Structure 1
């Protein structure tokens, strides 16, 4: 019986959809935060924040910097370059400023918004720009490698012969 029990010698990483990380009021953090779980900020954070879950900026919370998250509820202050893949919900006491990209937007009466608000992620915009540039490069390449027709070749030949006389 004892020999049949197996023990794990390696650590296992677990992911909890219900896990909530909190930065409480009175706490000030500068730097980078990366999380697989939800995050609630009632203190102050400045830097780069990425979460695969929901970001909640509480009524006294202040977030400044680059933010990437799945969903975002704002009651406090959110400033910077913000990308929300799904719903950005601005509550009545919210102040949001900067360049924001979102899947959907909900704004309660009284919320303050200043900056650029765009539906869709910057990645989609960048991909479209890259695709357009690639298409333009391909067309330019085709034009430069194009073989002239007989009429064009004769026309060019006459121009070169006539230019010397």
Structure 2
């Protein structure tokens, strides 16, 4: 499933989710699969593989996954079991163009973040 906006899950979902925004897994939520999003908040159960900029495990939330993220925060009553790899913050990389990002296999959030703020051309028309 690919979405552009925010998503809240309060049921059982098995499969892959890709979002350019945030995903929230409610207290009754159970997600199993590959999850890609800008940010993820977990109050229920998340199992599988996660690629995101930031993930927060709330009190009562459980993550059993391999997580690749820029930021990870866990409430004192949250649970994280798995492996965490630190993801490079694409915004802080020097002058990396969109073409290079696509060639490097980046898509979605990473490709959008790697676009320059301003494009200037010397070409006269």
Is the shorter-chain TM-score for this pair beyond 0.5, marking a shared fold?
yes
TM-score, structure 2 as length reference: 0.68
TM-superposed CA distance for 1:119, in Å, is 1.5
Per-residue deviation, residues 131-160 of structure 1 (Å, max 9, x unmatched): xxxxxxxxxxxxxxxxxxxxxxxxxxxxxx
Q: How many residues align?
A: 90
Instruction: Please identify the structure whose Cα radius of gyration is greater.
Output: 1
2:74 paired with 1:107:
yes
Q: Write the distance in 1 (CA, Å) between the matches of 2:84 and 2:78.
A: 14
User: Is the aligned partner of 1:55 residue 2:23?
Assistant: yes
- Structure with bigger helix share is 1
Q: CA deviation at 1:118?
A: 1.6
**Over aligned residue pairs, what C-alpha RMSD do you find?**
1.6
Give the unaligned 5+ runs of structure 2.
89-100, 105-125
What CA deviation, in whole Å up to 9, does each residue of 1:55-112 have, x standing for no partner? 000011010001100100000000001111x220110111101211111111101111
Moved over 3 A (4+): none
